[in-house]
Structure 1
Amino acid sequence: MIEVIATLFRWLQLASNMILVGGCVFLAIAGAFHSPWVTRLERALPWLGLILLVGLLGILATTTAQATGVPDNAWRVQAWLGLLQNTRMGHIWIGRAACAVAVLAIACYLRYSPRARWKYLLCATAASITLTVGALASHSAAEELSLLSVLPYALHIILASVWFGALPAFLAICFACTEPMGADKATKGGARPGIQTEAIARIHALFQSREQAVQAGAEALKRFSAMALPVMLAVIATGVIITDRMVDASYSGLVATRYGWLLDAKVALLGVVLVIAARARSTWLPLLAQGSASQDSVTKDNTQDSANLDRALAGGQKLRKWVSFEFMLALGIVLLATIVANTVPAKHALIQEWPYSFRFSLAATWGDPTVMTRVWSGVALLVAAGGAIALGRRKHWNTKLRIGVPAALIVAALATGLPPLAVDAYPETYRKTPVPFDTISIANGSGLFAENCVACHGSQGKGDGVMAKSFAKPPVDMLTEPHTAKHTAGDFFHWLTFGIPDTGMPVFADKLTEEDRWDVVNYLHAMSRGYQARLMSPKVKPEQPQPNMGPPNFSYTAYDGSSGTLKDFRGQKNVLLVLFSWPHSQERLRELGELYPRLAQANTILLAVPEGDPSAQELAHIAAQVPFPVVNQGAHEVVQSYALFRRTLSKPDLLGEGTLPRHMEFVIDRFGYLRARWIPDADGPGWNHADMLLQQLAQLNREKEILPPPGDHVH
């Protein structure tokens, strides 16, 4: 119940704030300072300011109750003060409340002072600042409090206010211009009917003629209509930017999460609103404006036929009816926006059960000539639909053709282009793995793969196991083919759990625990990333971190007593990870020991990990000779995981069980990406020349963040 009340208060304050912005902007551009509808709107401004403050107080009360978990705190001022003093949300609320008080003061000043355009703009600016301060509490600001993160959200809500907030003023003019005529003006026989009413008669008393009032109103509507189109385009553009940030690459969340469904409903309502607005702009508003001109003509020479006035009245009544409906839809959009703003974004929402038997995927289908042909054909049909819309307007097609032809082309485009992109999906397809992508999981997955999968898939996952030839359909090559790129981690989990019908893939749900199955999934991803790393060399590719080159995280304890994780250095230092064998790497370790002070100056930490299983005495001897940490706990898992990144173009190592190089060095940048690798046995001379290694580190230190940090889980 408290959540429902909180939503209503948020909606109340947001709607009133937006109407204050849009209403004042409308008054500023209308210029009809002496019209009665202006007086009505000005009377409403202080009330809207008061509603804004009440809404903010309601938000404070309900948020306090929700944050503390004590419903009674909604009424306790002391609890409010604690929230205001000790939380970021409380500080933002204070700013919003201060701005709201200023808006209320300006609205009261407007109500009781002579009218001027600058006063309306002042009120609109103050109300916009209130919205901007509120944007500091948005999802975008919560993730990163910066100008670039907050600006799109603030612009979106302010521009939406210019449109939505002006609708009440728009309706006030429509009602003033189209009220039923008074009985005293009705005529019989061939007398010309009028549309004058008692309300219009009062306007006539203020103006010198009724026609001036109607003309002023129609002119104000035309000005707003001319401004509304670019404003709405900007609203859509900023909305796309915000949605992209909140969805990221999790487009599946648009049709499988609460955030997605709310956003879909919001877009659907906006689509209806745009249709109404287009009709109003192209048909009903011109009729009303034409009628106002006709009235002026009649007044002067009484020669104009009343048909124009009848059409104007009909157009005005349509405008009044449908803009009223548009306003109700807009209130619904604002309500949905309020709920969306307080819902977990799609990119963070969990999809435990994918509800469809298919999904659309470019990664899994693109490259097939048939797929590409059909998709491009669908795109061509969509372009043709756009052309049909433009041609229909230009040639003045009838309504059936203007709607039917583009609709048929759009349906044909979707039917042609989408099915080829569809692939099978399962309830677990978008389930996020609960097991992090780290060396412990990968090492465990490696052991499970060796026990259960080698017979069919081979020791390196190439699908060349001893039983492979016994199947009608050979096992897939998990190493060299991009299956992990084409399928989700949830897909692999489903196959491990339930097997694959009509193949030799068995069910493992009764043999492997859920965590074990996720460990196997992590191992398959590490194996695939390792194969893709064969393109890596001792030289860093400037400004080109690869999204799929996030190395496995690991925990370690060194012989000198230091401990931590690889992730601890993220955002701070580069990491030179050295996998060595003893005594083969003795000379290289000596070189690195001499180089260590210069590595530290290059903002780089060095971690040495023994490949074999040296004795405690050997580890003590090694650690005594070098100034950097030598890992003694966690080394086995690190070696087993990073050995998957051993392949090079010159030595792909695809035969048998593979060979572990005697010495490998990896550079991981401070943003968490694997950027370069040196394997002396495969690459020859390289980082044994200190200057070359330091050049690579200098390049990484010059780079700013290009990609967001790699995730802790595979997808």
Structure 2
Amino acid sequence: MVDAIATLARWVQLVSNLILLGSCLFLIITSTVKRTHSEAWIGRLERLFPWLAVSIPIGLLVILATTIVQITGSANSLGEYEVWLGLLTDTRVGQIWILRFSAAILLLLAILYLCKVSRARWWYACCAVIAALPLVASSLASHAAAEELSVTAIMPYVLHLILAGVWFGALPAFILLIFDKRNKTNKFEVLKRFSSIAFPVMLLIIFTGLVVADQIFDGYYAALVATPYGWFLSAKIFLLVIILLIAMGVRSYWLPLLDCKQDSDVSNGNRGIKRWVPIEFILALLLLLLATIITNTTPAKHALIENWPFSFRFSVIATWNQPNVAIQVWSGLGVLVFAAVILQLGWLRNWGIKRLIFIPTILFISGGAIALQALTIQAYPETYRRPPVLFDVISVAHGSTLFAKHCVECHGLQGMGNGIKSRTLSTKLPDLLIEPHTVEHTPGDFYNWITNGMVNTDMPGYIDKLSDEDRWDLVNYIHALSRGYQARILTPEIIPNKAYVKPPVFSYQGHDGSSGALQEFRENKVVLMVVFSWPQSMSRLEQLKQAYGRLKEQNVMLLAVPNKDLAVEDMKQLVAKELPFPIVTQGAAEIATSFALSRRTLSHPDIIGQGTTPDHMEFLIDRKGYLRARWIPSVDHWGWSDIDQLNLQISALNREKMNISFPEDFVR
């Protein structure tokens, strides 16, 4: 019940806000046509303004009250002053609400003043600008702002709302004008001007909507058909298509009749507009209700798809290199373009409505079927299931142990499909190291294969041998194996503003009592991780000790990770060196095992047998959490042995201002 009240309040204040914005803009358009301000439809419209303006702060108060009930779980808390004050002052939600409420009050005052002064075009313009302020403030509470509070993240949503106000908000004024029999305005000129603005506005609404949707889905487009967010959005798109068809009909057929010389044509035009524009307005109200519901629904990229409902999915990456796929896809797209041309041609030549709909529809369906069929691959109930196990070094190291125990006989020591049993199998095994299987298939696909085996192959299922967490650890290890091979592009020099390799996260505890996690350094520090052996790395650790002051000045977190467990005497020797940076004691083995997968270079791919782990490796992880550079003395020779070269790379990382998201903590 509380959710329903909150949704209704959001819908009412949004509708009121958009109508005030759009109506003021419509009146600006009307004022450019010769008329008197005393026309009845304008009076009726302006009498609505105070009620609409009042409903916005009232709606916001209801939203705040329902938020308190949802947070505290009790309606009794509404009577506690401290709860209201705490929410408003101590939370981001409350602070954004204050901003929205202030903008709503300012709009109310402007509307009340407008009702008392003589009408002027510039006053309508001022009210339109002020009416946009609550919409701008509301964008701070959107899904886009929740992900990243920045201008680039919020601006598409702001534009989407304002453009919606320009179109939808003007519809009530549009309706009042066409139903006013006594108006002295040149109705056709006003509606024509509005229509010429509304068409590009609708295109921009669609464009900004696509941008916002792309931010929310973040590549997780399967959610469109398998989550509540996707279902509501699909319904919203369906309504929008109907609205667009109605708007196109009004603009291209009914509106031009108003400019005809014959009274019968003008009468038909009036009847058509009076019939279809109110329907467009009602559908738009429903569309805004869906949009309001969507704002309270878990965003697509955070929604869980426990069971994918289809036995197939579409994937460009997994199919594009297969024979004839590109030809088939381009052919399908060509049919779609041809369908659009036919639709436009039929519209211009005034085809009958049945012919105009039937022929392009058949072509659209055919083109889509041709293109999508080529991109179809098999899917499973678990295909889009989110991994419940963190992509961290503990999971990767455990997955490595499981892989060695259960998988190497067939898949080989490095997952290249060349195990001792591989030649006896009926099917060729995939190369999990070099080939891009982790890119082409989802983690859920791998989980399904490990759990249930693969049909028509020798791959058995391990549902009875491995726990659920073990199977996800294997998935994480396979991804770490593939990412480690991708890391062969790394060198001692960073590639400016290019972040590719996502390392597994980790927690650590140092010999000096310090502790932390890799995620804690994001946006704060560059991490220099030194995976060393003792005593082979003694001189390098001494060199880093001498250079530590300069590294610290550059806001570097240096972690020394032994590549194998240190004996008690070895640790005593290290402690005696009085190193100013932590030597990782707890978590070291898992970190060393996981990052050893990133040992390969372009000149030394290390794909023979079990591979060789270097005695010493150093990695630079940038402030976003990406692996950006690597130095292996036995391969790269001089490299960072010159501390100045290391400092140059760190300085370059510190100067970067990449607007990218952090690496996901779970594989996807």
Which category describes the TM-score, using the shorter chain as reference length?
over 0.9
Q: Which residue of 1 aligns with 2:468?
A: 514
- Amino acid across the alignment from 2:614: P
Q: Which residue of 1 aligns with 2:590?
A: 637
Q: CA deviation at 1:72?
A: 3.5
1:589 pairs with 2:593: no
Q: How far apart, CA to CA, are the structure 1 residues paired with 2:497 and 2:106?
A: 48
Match of 1:321 among 275, 279, 282: 275
Q: How far apart, CA to CA, are the structure 1 residues paired with 2:120 and 2:565?
A: 85
Q: Which residue of 1 aligns with 2:112?
A: 108
Q: Which residue of 2 aligns with 1:254?
A: 224
Q: CA deviation at 1:280?
A: 0.3
Q: CA deviation at 1:498?
A: 1.0
Q: How far apart, CA to CA, are the structure 2 residues paired with 1:634 and 1:280?
A: 68
Q: How far apart, CA to CA, are the structure 1 residues paired with 2:407 and 2:214?
A: 39
- Amino acid across the alignment from 2:613: L
- Amino acid across the alignment from 1:367: N
1:241 pairs with 2:211: yes
1:226 pairs with 2:178: no
Q: Would the alpha carbon gap of residues 640 and 84 (structure 1) be closer, same or farther in structure 2, given more than 3 Å must change?
A: closer
- Amino acid across the alignment from 1:562: S
Q: Secondary structure at the match of 2:302?
A: coil
Quick check: 1:623–1:629 contact (8 Å CA) kept in 2? no
Q: Would the alpha carbon gap of residues 503 and 221 (structure 1) be closer, same or farther in structure 2, given more than 3 Å must change?
A: same
Match of 2:503 among 537, 551, 558: 551
Quick check: 1:215–1:289 contact (8 Å CA) kept in 2? no
Q: Would the alpha carbon gap of residues 61 and 440 (structure 1) be closer, same or farther in structure 2, given more than 3 Å must change?
A: same
Q: Would the alpha carbon gap of residues 609 and 139 (structure 1) be closer, same or farther in structure 2, given more than 3 Å must change?
A: same
Q: Which residue of 1 aligns with 2:568?
A: 616
1:656 pairs with 2:597: no
1:710 pairs with 2:663: yes
Q: Would the alpha carbon gap of residues 601 and 107 (structure 1) be closer, same or farther in structure 2, given more than 3 Å must change?
A: closer
Q: How far apart, CA to CA, are the structure 1 residues paired with 2:433 and 2:150?
A: 42
TM-score of the superposed pair, with normalisation by structure 1 = 0.89
Q: How far apart, CA to CA, are the structure 2 residues paired with 1:592 and 1:469?
A: 49
Quick check: 1:222–1:285 contact (8 Å CA) kept in 2? yes
Q: CA deviation at 1:82?
A: 4.2
Q: Which moved more, 1:75-84 or 1:571-580?
A: 75-84
Q: Which residue of 2 aligns with 1:304?
A: none
Q: How far apart, CA to CA, are the structure 1 residues paired with 2:284 and 2:323?
A: 45
Q: How far apart, CA to CA, are the structure 1 residues paired with 2:112 and 2:102?
A: 16
Q: Secondary structure at the match of 1:136?
A: helix
For residues 495-506 of structure 1, the aligned pairs below 5 Å read: 495-506=449-460
Q: Secondary structure at the match of 2:180?
A: helix
Match of 1:646 among 582, 588, 599: 599
Q: How far apart, CA to CA, are the structure 2 residues paired with 1:564 and 1:79?
A: 35
Quick check: 2:389–2:395 contact (8 Å CA) kept in 1? yes
Identity %: 50
- Amino acid across the alignment from 1:371: V
Q: CA deviation at 1:257?
A: 1.3
Q: How far apart, CA to CA, are the structure 1 residues paired with 2:636 and 2:483?
A: 19
Per-residue CA deviation, residues 643-693 of structure 1 (Å, 9 max, x unaligned), is 111122222222222222122111111221111112222223322122222
Q: Which residue of 2 aligns with 1:606?
A: 558
Q: Which residue of 2 aligns with 1:271?
A: 241
1:27 pairs with 2:45: no
- Amino acid across the alignment from 2:238: A
Q: Would the alpha carbon gap of residues 105 and 667 (structure 1) be closer, same or farther in structure 2, given more than 3 Å must change?
A: closer
Q: CA deviation at 1:623?
A: 3.0
Q: Would the alpha carbon gap of residues 375 and 609 (structure 1) be closer, same or farther in structure 2, given more than 3 Å must change?
A: same
Q: CA deviation at 1:425?
A: 1.0
Q: Secondary structure at the match of 2:516?
A: strand
Q: Which residue of 2 aligns with 1:162?
A: 166
Match of 1:529 among 473, 480, 483: 483
Per-residue CA deviation, residues 270-300 of structure 1 (Å, 9 max, x unaligned), is 111111001101111111232xxx4xxxxxx
Quick check: 1:354–1:428 contact (8 Å CA) kept in 2? yes
Q: Which residue of 1 aligns with 2:256?
A: 286
Q: Which residue of 2 aligns with 1:130?
A: 134
- Amino acid across the alignment from 1:519: D
Q: How far apart, CA to CA, are the structure 1 residues paired with 2:545 and 2:136?
A: 54
Per-residue CA deviation, residues 88-140 of structure 1 (Å, 9 max, x unaligned), is 32333333333333333333333344322222223222222122222222222
- Amino acid across the alignment from 1:660: T
Q: CA deviation at 1:608?
A: 1.5
Q: Which residue of 2 aligns with 1:407?
A: 361
Q: Which residue of 2 aligns with 1:487?
A: 441
Q: Would the alpha carbon gap of residues 53 and 707 (structure 1) be closer, same or farther in structure 2, given more than 3 Å must change?
A: closer
Q: Which residue of 1 aligns with 2:374?
A: 420
Q: CA deviation at 1:435?
A: 1.0
Q: Secondary structure at the match of 2:451?
A: helix
Q: How far apart, CA to CA, are the structure 1 residues paired with 2:279 and 2:510?
A: 70
Quick check: 1:577–1:606 contact (8 Å CA) kept in 2? yes
- CA RMSD in angstroms comes to 1.9
Q: CA deviation at 1:706?
A: 4.3
Q: CA deviation at 1:77?
A: 6.2
1:54 pairs with 2:58: yes
Q: How far apart, CA to CA, are the structure 2 residues paired with 1:76 and 1:586?
A: 64
Q: Would the alpha carbon gap of residues 369 and 564 (structure 1) be closer, same or farther in structure 2, given more than 3 Å must change?
A: same
Q: How far apart, CA to CA, are the structure 2 residues paired with 1:629 and 1:97?
A: 50
1:478 pairs with 2:482: no
Q: CA deviation at 1:222?
A: 1.7
Q: How far apart, CA to CA, are the structure 1 residues paired with 2:57 and 2:259?
A: 38
- Amino acid across the alignment from 2:23: G
Q: How far apart, CA to CA, are the structure 2 residues paired with 1:148 and 1:677?
A: 32
Q: Which moved more, 1:321-330 or 1:646-655?
A: 646-655
Q: Which residue of 2 aligns with 1:181?
A: none
Per-residue CA deviation, residues 17-46 of structure 1 (Å, 9 max, x unaligned), is 111111121122112423211111112212
Q: Would the alpha carbon gap of residues 2 and 382 (structure 1) be closer, same or farther in structure 2, given more than 3 Å must change?
A: same
Quick check: 1:556–1:565 contact (8 Å CA) kept in 2? yes
Q: How far apart, CA to CA, are the structure 2 residues paired with 1:112 and 1:605?
A: 64
For residues 554-573 of structure 1, the aligned pairs below 5 Å read: 554-573=506-525
Q: Secondary structure at the match of 1:418?
A: helix
Q: Secondary structure at the match of 1:16?
A: helix
Q: Would the alpha carbon gap of residues 558 and 56 (structure 1) be closer, same or farther in structure 2, given more than 3 Å must change?
A: closer
Q: CA deviation at 1:330?
A: 0.4
Can you give the 5+ residue segments of structure 1 that lack an aligned partner in the other structure? Answer: 178-202, 204-212, 295-307
Q: Which residue of 1 aligns with 2:70?
A: 66
Q: Secondary structure at the match of 2:301?
A: coil
- Amino acid across the alignment from 1:600: K
Match of 2:314 among 349, 360, 375: 360
Can you give the 5+ residue segments of structure 2 that lack an aligned partner in the other structure? Answer: none
Q: Would the alpha carbon gap of residues 112 and 563 (structure 1) be closer, same or farther in structure 2, given more than 3 Å must change?
A: closer
Q: Secondary structure at the match of 1:251?
A: coil
TM-score of the superposed pair, with normalisation by structure 2 = 0.95
Quick check: 2:497–2:658 contact (8 Å CA) kept in 1? no
Q: CA deviation at 1:616?
A: 1.3
Q: Which residue of 2 aligns with 1:184?
A: none
Match of 1:442 among 396, 408, 423: 396
Q: How far apart, CA to CA, are the structure 2 residues paired with 1:695 and 1:113?
A: 65
Q: Which residue of 1 aligns with 2:532?
A: 580
Q: Which moved more, 1:57-66 or 1:162-171?
A: 57-66
Q: CA deviation at 1:79?
A: 4.3
Quick check: 1:257–1:346 contact (8 Å CA) kept in 2? yes
- Amino acid across the alignment from 2:39: S
Quick check: 1:61–1:73 contact (8 Å CA) kept in 2? no
Q: CA deviation at 1:602?
A: 3.0
Q: Which residue of 2 aligns with 1:180?
A: none
Q: How far apart, CA to CA, are the structure 1 residues paired with 2:79 and 2:648?
A: 63
Q: How far apart, CA to CA, are the structure 1 residues paired with 2:234 and 2:400?
A: 42
Q: Would the alpha carbon gap of residues 162 and 347 (structure 1) be closer, same or farther in structure 2, given more than 3 Å must change?
A: same
Q: Would the alpha carbon gap of residues 48 and 613 (structure 1) be closer, same or farther in structure 2, given more than 3 Å must change?
A: closer
Q: CA deviation at 1:433?
A: 0.9
Q: How far apart, CA to CA, are the structure 1 residues paired with 2:14 and 2:421?
A: 66
Quick check: 2:39–2:184 contact (8 Å CA) kept in 1? no
